[in-house]
């Protein structure tokens, strides 16, 4: 037998890419630039929140050729990315439900990225697995769930809601859906308010239940699910040949931050043998504050809860907890064998048995390290601060003759509209005015907020996510809206 030919060494490009000295130099530059970015965003009075460019211009400004040899160094991309990205740490950021991540968590995110330990099996996550289990245990205890509770972390609320509904299907369908398929029983359904996050409707359709799989439940004037309408919805589902298996309630809805009345919903679920899933992606963190914990009263009676750490816990995206009152249900969602990963017996230390993801990032490490480094008090202070900011903005809107509040905020989301004396009456013209004002402020880049539809009308919408925002920024936002309205006013009819 002839000898194998000698293996050549790695190419210079490979060795250069993994060079520790190069990594150290690039890392120093990155941290310096991120620190400058953070300082400017939190302290500067003239830095824009959003360096807005129209889509064609903004997308077209980036090179799309990737030659065989390096075209840029990492520092060039770092600097350009910082210059053209929205600044969540700016106190005038009032937009989506995305927090300014606490800086220490971003450092641990870099640790997780370099280690890149997969999370399917304990062997590949010797540190990340205990971190995740500790975080899930702490979250379950914070929500008041029993000692039997457990779950997993996954990549986002949409995937979290889907995962919980998969578990609900296996637990309440009346047969082994995972093995026998959906055709073995009548089509299933969940009862859910129309104001729930769109991921619920998307999950229902992905489960194969179609448009009829989400039975709408009425909401009250505060956009909360009405428990007294659940009976009607249940009967409707049965009339159309559906088998309802669950009620989906919101703890901090996306549009308004509304909290559904969980105790009454839990009573109904218990009386009718339905699974109760609480989408607390945004608002479950209210449990961290004695001042606001009443908003999630009854959540401990839920069969499953989703809670995003990348919302009101100021963690980098994505990091969502799916927590079950009975940890055994975590395995029902994905009742599948993968012999090359898992032994036939239940191995609770191999977290891939509980989640759709196999190669999962070390998200639990980021939360674990942050809890240890900052303390639970930091997270409580964060929740209480952003909730207080919403109350402060609502009070300013309520005291202004030219603004109208849609509803009193329950959490950190405020919906309102600009409605000056002599302006357009409620209807399409007033709706268009809100959209025009919002666009004008976005293009200017000095304040960033959204607009949304509530009960067929358009309102401005702010999510107060930055704990360093002050009353001055709130006053400035209303002043900016007034100024923008003056600019666009000629386009809109006046009352009378």
The residue count of the chain comes to 496
Look-up of token digits 């004037």 = 221
A 10 A CB-CB count for 375 gives 11
> Measuring CA to CA, which residue among 117, 120, 62, 88 is closest to residue 342?
120
Contact 108, 366 (CB under 8 A): yes
Phi, psi (deg, nearest 5) at residue 34: -65, -40
Contact 427, 276 (CB under 8 A): no
CA distance linking residue 254 with residue 277, whole number of Å: 16
Q: Which helix (H) or strand (E) holds 398?
A: helix 376-398
Mean pLDDT across the chain: 91
Q: Which two tokens stand for residue 212?
A: 């009829």
pTM assigned to the model: 0.93
Residues 295-338: tens digit of each pLDDT: 999 999 999 999 999 999 999 999 999 999 999 888 877 764 43
Least confident of 76-85, 115-124, 162-171, 454-463: 115-124
Model confidence at 107: pLDDT above 90 = yes
Residue 482 makes CB contacts below 8 A (sequence gap 6+) with 402, 418
Q: Which two tokens stand for residue 271?
A: 């009386």
3 state SS of 154: strand
Residue 132: exposure state from Cβ atoms within 10 A (0-12, 13-18, ≥19): buried
All structural domains of the chain: 24-101+375-496 (3.90.1150.170), 118-374 (3.40.640.10)
C-alpha dihedral (438, 388, 96, 41), degrees to nearest 10: 90
Model confidence at 1: pLDDT above 90 = no
pLDDT, residue 212, reads: 86
Q: Cα separations (Å) of 55 from 52, 60, 63?
A: 9, 8, 15
Expressed in angstroms, the distance from the first to the final Cα of the chain is 99
Residue 236 makes CB contacts below 8 A (sequence gap 6+) with 215
Top-confidence residue, 212 or 403? 403
Model confidence at 442: pLDDT above 50 = yes
3 state SS of 245: strand
pLDDT, residue 343, reads: 41
CA distance linking residue 285 with residue 278, whole number of Å: 13
Q: Which helix (H) or strand (E) holds 397?
A: helix 376-398
How many CA within 13 A on the CB side of residue 249? 34
Contact 112, 365 (CB under 8 A): yes
Top-confidence residue, 357 or 374? 374
pLDDT, residue 339, reads: 40
Beta-bridge partners for 411? none
């Amino acid at each position: 037998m002839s000898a194998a030919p000698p293996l050549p060494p790695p190419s210079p490009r490979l060795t250069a890419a993994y060079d520790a000295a190069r990594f150290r130099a690039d890392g120093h530059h990155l941290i310096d630039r991120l620190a400058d970015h953070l300082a400017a965003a939190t302290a500067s009075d003239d830095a824009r929140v959003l360096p807005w460019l129209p889509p064609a211009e903004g997308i077209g400004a980036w090179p799309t050729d990737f030659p065989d040899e390096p075209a840029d160094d990492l520092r060039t991309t770092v600097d350009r990315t910082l210059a053209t990205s929205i600044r969540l740490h700016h106190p005038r950021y009032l937009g989506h439900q995305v927090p300014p991540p606490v800086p220490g968590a971003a450092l641990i995110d870099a640790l997780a990225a370099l280690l890149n330990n997969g999370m399917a099996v304990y062997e590949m996550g010797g540190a990340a697995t205990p971190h995740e289990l500790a975080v899930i245990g702490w979250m379950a205890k914070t929500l008041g769930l029993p000692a039997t509770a457990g779950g997993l972390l996954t990549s986002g609320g949409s995937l979290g809601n889907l995962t919980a509904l998969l578990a609900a299907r296996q637990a309440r369908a009346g047969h082994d859906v995972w093995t026998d398929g959906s055709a073995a029983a009548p089509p299933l359904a969940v009862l859910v308010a129309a104001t729930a996050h769109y991921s619920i409707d998307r999950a229902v359709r992905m489960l194969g239940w179609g448009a009829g799989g989400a039975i709408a439940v009425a909401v009250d004037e505060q956009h909360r699910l009405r428990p007294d309408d659940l009976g009607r919805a249940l009967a409707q589902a049965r009339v159309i040949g559906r088998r309802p298996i669950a009620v989906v309630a919101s703890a901090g809805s996306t549009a308004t931050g509304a909290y559904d009345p969980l105790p009454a919903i839990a009573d109904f679920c218990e009386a009718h043998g339905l699974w109760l899933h609480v989408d607390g992606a945004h608002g479950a963190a209210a449990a961290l504050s004695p001042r606001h914990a009443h908003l999630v009263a009854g959540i401990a009676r839920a069969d499953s809860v989703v809670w995003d750490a990348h919302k009101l816990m100021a963690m980098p995206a994505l990091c969502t907890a799916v927590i079950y009152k009975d940890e055994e249900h975590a395995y029902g969602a994905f009742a599948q064998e993968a012999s090359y990963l898992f032994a036939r017996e239940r191995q609770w230390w191999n977290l891939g048995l509980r989640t759709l993801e196999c190669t999962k990032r070390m998200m639990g490490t980021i939360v674990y390290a942050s809890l240890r480094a900052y303390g639970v008090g930091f997270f409580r202070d964060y929740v209480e601060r952003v909730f207080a900011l919403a109350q402060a903005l609502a009070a300013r809107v309520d005291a202004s003759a030219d603004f109208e509040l849609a509803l009193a905020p329950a959490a950190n989301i405020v919906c309102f509209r600009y409605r000056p004396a002599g302006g357009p009456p409620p209807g399409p013209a007033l709706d268009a005015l809100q959209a025009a004002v919002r666009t004008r402020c976005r293009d200017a880049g000095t304040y960033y907020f959204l607009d949304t539809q509530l009960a067929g009308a358009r309102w401005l919408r702010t999510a107060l996510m930055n704990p360093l925002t002050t009353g001055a920024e709130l006053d400035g936002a209303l002043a900016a809206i007034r100024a923008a309205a003056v600019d666009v006013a000629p386009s809109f009819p006046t009352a009378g």
